[in-house]
Amino acid sequence: MCKHSRIERSWMRAVCVAICLLAAGPAGAQSPSPDTLAAARELIVTMRAADYFKTIMPAIVQQLKPAIVQNRPQVERDYDAIMPLMLDSMNARVSEIIEQVAALYARNFTAAELNEVVAFYRGPTGQKFIQKLPLITQESMVIEPGDTIGRLG
């Protein structure tokens, strides 16, 4: 195997490990109270976070591709081969990831605050927000910074 190919494969492995570590989240912080954690889990369910995660991850993977591949055919082949496996792995672990997100919410908000957010998302505006969020997220991922500069002023 040529040196250039080994470097590309090593780089691709490093990217895959980084994505897995990001999906795993931080380890060991202060434990939230059971009430706060229950409220955070309720928020996650109300927001349909697992469905959102499964919907948006393929779009994120596609957005990352040009930056990783950089017109290198071998890296593109590796990326195309690895990313479906990574998505399957992440989807299989979505409940673990969601539980970590719930813990993150619980560490940053009180049970009362989380219950207020749940109440919002259960209302008509919150439901509309949940329904539209995947599409808005996907559409926002293709906005180029230069596209908005003239319209912001």
Rounded to the nearest integer, the mean pLDDT of the chain is 82
Is the C-alpha dihedral spanning 116, 100, 84, 144 positive or negative? positive
- Residue 152 domain-assigned (yes or no): no
- Residue 123 domain-assigned (yes or no): yes
- Residue 149 domain-assigned (yes or no): no
- Residue 86 domain-assigned (yes or no): yes
Please give the C-alpha separations between residue 24 and each of 28, 59, 100, in angstroms, as whole numbers. Answer: 12, 19, 8
Count structural domains, the chain: 1
Tens-digit pLDDT profile for residues 87-98:
998 888 888 989
For residues 75 and 69, is the Cβ–Cβ distance under 8 A? Answer: yes
Percent of the chain with pLDDT strictly greater than 90: 48
- Residue 151 domain-assigned (yes or no): no
How much is the pLDDT for 10? 47
> What domain range includes position 61?
3-21+33-141
Neighbour tally for 119: CB within 10 Å = 11
* Cα–Cα distance, 117 to 67 (Å, whole number): 36
Prediction pTM value: 0.63
Query: Which residue carries 């570590």 as its tokens?
Result: 21
140 band by pLDDT with thresholds 50, 70 and 90: confident
Closest among 102, 105, 101, 123 to 113, alpha carbons compared: 105
Residue type present at position 2: C
- Residue 130 domain-assigned (yes or no): yes
Angle at 50 between CA 33 and CA 97, to 5 degrees: 55
Least confident of 19-23, 79-83, 89-93: 19-23
- Residue 78 domain-assigned (yes or no): yes
